[in-house]
C-alpha cells in the first residue's frame, strides 16, 4: 500500500453503545465516572487533540451519552450485533484519509498514544495499525502473533494453544486504517461464531489475507486496559489518579501525602499550592498560587485565590470564590459564596448564596439562612463587618460596611453601615429557679 501524507485527514470512531451489564448499573458504561468525568469524556478530550473528525456510536435510548458527545456527530446502533457492526454504523462519517476505531471503555488512552498509532498507520508500508500491550497478567486477552515485526493474526485465548498462551503481547482492540480499506474490510466481516456477532478483530485477518502490512503499536497496560466491571473501574480510577498527581507535582504543587489526595481531570493547582492529606477535588476547582488546602477538605466548582487557607474539614461547593488571604476553617461550608480579601470564616459556619466583603470576620456557628423551602435568597455582607458567634442571618439581607452583629442574634432586617445590630431576646434571671426546677425533675424521675 502507498505512503500517506501526514496532512491526510483522520477520523476517530468512538464506540459507546455498551450497556455495562457487568457493572450492574442502569447507567450506560460510557457514562461511568473516572476522576470526576464520564469515561467517554476522557476519550473525547484526548481524541480531539489528534483527529480531525470524531463520531460517536451509541445504543438506542442513550440520550445522555449523545448529549455528552455534542457537538460531535452521533449515530445509533439500533441492534447490538458486535463491534464491527457498530463501527460500520459510522461509515457515512469516515470521509477520506484514515479512520481509527476506539472504545469508550478504554478511556485512558492518551493523545500521545493515539498520535503514535496514526503515525504508524501512515508509514509507507503499513496498511493497518493496532494497539497492543504487555499486561502483568495477560490472562484471557487475545494474543497478537507477529513475524519479522508484522502482525500475522490475533488468537483469542479460548482458541490459543498452550504455546500461544505464553505470548505476552496482547490485543487492545483499537485499529487504524485507510478509510476506503476499512469500509471494505468491515463489510466483509462475517458472524460465523458462537454469538453470531460481527467482531472488529476479524479485520486483522482480512487485512493479512490481502497482504496488507499490519503493525502493532505498544503502549502501557494502564492506558489500554478495558473497563467492564466495578473492579476494573476502580483500577482505572487508581491509574488516572496516579497520572493526575504526578502532573500536579510536576507543576509545582506540594501534595503532602499524594496517595490520599483525589483529583478531577480539570483540577488546576498552581505552583506553591500546598495540599494536605485526605483532600478531595471534585470537578471545576482552581487553586491559585500560594494557597493551602488543609486536611480532610472537599472542594467542588470553586476558585481559591492566592494565599487563601482552606480547612481542615472544610467544604467548598459550586459557585464559591475565596479571595486572596481569606481563611475558611474547620467545619465550614460555603455554597455559591464570595469572600473578599482577608475575610475569615474560621469555624462551624454555613454561608450560602452570599457576597462577603474584605476583612470581614464571621464568628463561630454563624448560619446564613438562604432557603425558605421553595426559593433561594441572597445576602450581601460588606467589608470590615464583624458577625458575632451563633448568629442567624435570614436572607434576603444586606449588612453594610463596618457593621457589627452581636453574638447570638437572629437578623431579619438590613443592617446599615457602621451600625450595631442586636437580634436576641433580653436576658432574664430568676433567682433560685434553676435549683427548684432540677430538684422537681429528679423527684419525678425517682417516683416514676
> Are 278 and 260 a contacting pair, CB within 8 Å?
yes
Domains of the chain: 10-224 (3.90.550.10), 230-421 (2.160.10.10)
Identify the pLDDT of residue 298: 98
Cα–Cα dist 142/158, whole Å = 9
Query: How much is the CA Rg of the chain, to the nearest whole Å?
Result: 30
Q: Residues marked as binding?
A: 15-18, 29, 77, 82-83, 105, 142, 156, 171, 228, 317, 335, 350, 361, 364, 370-371, 389, 407, 424
Q: Residues marked as binding for acetyl-CoA?
A: 364, 370-371, 389, 407, 424
Beta-carbon-side half-sphere exposure of residue 133 (alpha carbons within 13 Å): 20
Grid cell at residue 353: 448564596
> Are 65 and 31 a contacting pair, CB within 8 Å?
yes
Cα–Cα dist 375/323, whole Å = 27
Q: pLDDT per residue over 52-108, tens digit each?
A: 999 999 999 999 999 999 999 999 999 999 999 999 999 999 999 999 999 999 999
Identify the pLDDT of residue 195: 79
Identify the pLDDT of residue 6: 54
Cα–Cα dist 222/174, whole Å = 15
> Exactly one of 278, 288, 347, 378 is catalytic; which is it?
347
Identify the pLDDT of residue 141: 86
Identify the pLDDT of residue 355: 98
For the chain, 448 residues long, the average pLDDT of each consecutive 10-residue run is 60 92 88 95 96 96 94 94 94 95 95 97 95 90 91 87 90 95 95 84 94 95 90 94 97 98 97 98 98 98 98 98 98 98 97 98 98 95 98 97 96 96 88 91 88
- 56 sits in which H/E element: strand 53-58
Cβ-proximal residues to 291 (8 Å cutoff; 6+ apart), any chain: 270, 273, 274, 304, 305, 306, 307, 308, 309, 310
Cα–Cα dist 214/204, whole Å = 8
Q: Residues marked as binding for Mg(2+)?
A: 105, 228
Identify the pLDDT of residue 185: 96
Q: Is 181 a catalytic residue?
A: no
Cβ-proximal residues to 101 (8 Å cutoff; 6+ apart), any chain: 12, 13, 15, 83, 87, 174, 175, 176, 200
Amino acid at each position: 500500500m502507498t505512503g500517506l501524507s501526514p496532512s491526510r485527514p483522520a477520523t476517530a470512531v468512538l464506540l459507546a453503545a455498551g450497556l455495562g451489564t457487568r457493572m450492574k448499573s442502569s447507567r450506560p458504561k460510557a457514562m461511568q465516572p473516572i476522576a470526576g468525568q464520564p469515561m467517554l469524556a476522557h476519550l473525547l478530550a484526548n481524541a480531539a487533540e489528534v483527529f480531525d473528525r470524531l463520531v460517536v456510536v451509541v445504543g438506542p435510548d442513550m440520550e445522555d451519552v449523545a448529549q455528552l458527545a455534542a457537538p460531535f456527530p452521533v449515530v445509533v446502533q439500533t441492534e447490538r450485533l458486535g463491534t464491527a457492526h457498530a463501527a460500520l454504523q459510522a461509515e457515512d462519517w469516515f470521509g477520506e484519509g484514515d479512520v481509527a476505531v476506539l472504545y469508550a471503555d478504554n478511556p485512558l488512552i492518551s493523545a500521545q498514544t493515539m498520535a503514535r498509532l496514526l503515525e504508524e498507520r501512515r508509514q509507507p508500508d503499513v496498511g493497518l495499525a493496532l494497539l497492543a500491550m504487555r499486561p502483568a497478567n495477560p490472562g484471557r486477552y487475545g494474543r497478537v502473533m507477529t513475524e519479522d515485526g508484522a502482525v500475522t493474526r490475533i488468537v483469542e485465548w479460548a482458541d490459543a494453544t498452550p504455546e500461544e498462551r505464553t505470548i505476552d503481547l496482547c490485543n487492545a482492540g483499537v485499529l487504524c486504517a485507510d478509510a476506503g480499506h476499512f469500509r471494505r474490510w468491515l463489510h466483509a466481516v462475517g458472524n460465523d461464531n458462537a454469538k453470531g456477532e460481527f467482531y472488529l478483530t476479524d479485520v486483522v485477518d482480512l487485512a493479512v489475507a490481502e497482504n496488507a502490512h499490519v503493525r502493532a503499536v505498544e503502549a502501557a497496560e494502564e492506558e489500554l486496559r478495558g473497563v467492564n466491571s466495578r473492579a476494573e473501574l476502580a483500577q482505572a480510577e487508581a491509574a488516572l489518579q496516579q497520572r493526575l498527581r504526578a502532573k500536579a507535582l510536576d507543576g509545582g504543587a506540594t501534595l503532602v501525602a499524594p496517595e490520599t489526595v483525589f483529583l478531577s481531570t480539570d483540577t488546576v493547582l498552581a505552583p506553591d499550592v500546598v495540599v494536605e492529606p485526605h483532600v478531595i477535588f471534585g470537578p471545576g476547582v482552581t487553586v491559585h498560587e500560594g494557597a493551602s488546602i488543609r486536611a480532610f477538605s472537599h472542594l467542588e466548582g470553586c476558585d481559591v485565590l492566592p494565599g487563601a487557607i482552606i480547612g481542615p474539614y472544610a467544604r467548598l461547593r459550586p459557585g464559591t470564590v475565596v479571595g486572596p488571604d481569606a481563611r475558611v476553617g474547620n467545619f465550614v461550608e460555603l455554597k455559591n459564596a464570595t469572600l473578599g480579601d482577608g475575610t475569615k470564616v474560621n469555624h462551624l459556619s454555613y454561608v450560602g448564596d452570599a457576597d462577603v466583603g474584605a476583612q470581614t470576620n464571621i464568628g463561630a456557628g454563624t448560619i446564613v439562612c438562604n432557603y425558605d423551602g421553595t426559593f433561594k435568597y441572597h445576602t450581601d455582607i460588606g467589608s470590615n463587618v464583624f458577625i458575632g458567634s451563633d448568629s442567624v442571618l435570614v436572607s434576603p439581607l444586606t449588612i453594610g460596611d463596618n457593621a457589627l452583629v452581636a453574638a447570638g442574634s437572629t437578623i431579619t432586617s438590613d443592617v446599615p453601615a457602621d451600625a450595631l445590630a442586636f437580634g436576641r431576646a433580653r436576658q432574664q434571671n430568676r433567682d433560685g429557679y434553676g435549683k427548684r426546677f432540677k430538684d422537681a425533675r429528679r423527684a419525678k424521675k425517682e417516683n416514676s
